[in-house]
Structure 1
């Protein structure tokens, strides 16, 4: 059995947009974790995953993770 915490105890009421994205009926109360899972599933099913580096716009291959951007070089004076 999973532990209850602030995320599992808090719920929001599904509106029209969340109903369309998550598949839950409008007006139902759903926990934040369930909404997050549903949104991740929607992103995967519709091919909306980010396929480029947000820092340099270089294309990413399948298993590459994005690292922190390098510090900019300071020109010598």
Structure 2
């Protein structure tokens, strides 16, 4: 069985793969609120798997809530988080 670290999509993965990974973690529940999750995500610390997953989860939720297509700049930002 693969660990979560092995299931992290490559930085150049398509958005749908990244999005599927993002929603396997509920950052709101883990951190106790949307505000606490946002604080961690906006700090953009990715020193731990949980911090990385929080950042990716939060980005996915932001784009889902905007009901817009992910733009090139946002995708590059997410790729940088994953490197």
The TM-score, its normalising length taken from structure 1, stands at: 0.28
Q: Please state which structure has a larger fraction of its residues in helix.
A: 2
Whose RCO is larger (CA < 8 A, sep 6+)?
A: 2
Q: Please state which structure has a larger fraction of its residues in strand.
A: 1
The TM-score, its normalising length taken from structure 2, stands at: 0.26
